[in-house]
Amino acid sequence: MAKEKSETPRFICGLHATLHVINGKWKPLILFFLNKGPTRYGELKRSVRGVSDKMLIQQLKELESDGIVRRTDYGEIPLRVDYSLTPFGMSLVHAMEPLCGWGAAHEEDIAAAMDRRPTSR
């Protein structure tokens, strides 16, 4: 046990790396909403319909630790916190646009394919 440090955990291609950052059931949605501007926790929760507190916080924490989002605590009397994209996060969202476009353009084919899946996924 002397050189097990960073045993080239590098990724095969950039996509591989990127997916580590945006994987998570609610992350794309969170990014989608944050892209519209800083959002308070409760507001975000109401936007991302169906997410639980546990999940929202967890995904936000990961995105924060990855440097994608920034948590701002205004230290005000009636608790007030909001989340926003960092410049790094914005560059990610920007790079995601073509993929959003592709997904949007083929939404129906994708939905149909999903339905074909045995477990429906």
**Site residues, DNA (CB under 7 A):** 24-26, 40-43, 50-55, 57, 59-61, 71, 73, 77-82, 119, 121
Q: Which residue, 2 or 49, has its beta carbon nearer to DNA?
A: 49
Tell me whether residue 3 or residue 117 sits nearer to DNA (CB atom). 117
Q: Nearest approach, Cβ of 73 to DNA (angstroms)?
A: 7
DSSP string of 41-92, one letter each residue: HHHHHHHSTT--HHHHHHHHHHHHHTTSEEEEE---SS--EEEEE-HHHHHH
Partner interacting with residue 72 (select from its own copies, DNA, none; CB below 5-8 Å by kind): none
Q: Minimum Å distance from CB 120 to DNA?
A: 8
Amino acid at residue number 20: H
36: helix, strand or coil: coil
Quote the CA–CA distance of 44 and 107 in Å, as a whole number. 24
Q: Is 29 in the site for its own copies (CB under 8 A)?
A: yes
Cβ distance to its own copies smaller for residue 20 or 71? 20
Q: Which is nearer to DNA, 79 or 105 (CB)?
A: 79
Number of Cβ within a 10 Å radius of residue 96: 17
- Least Å from the CB of residue 95 to its own copies: 4
* SS3 state of residue 20: helix
Residue 23 DSSP symbol: -
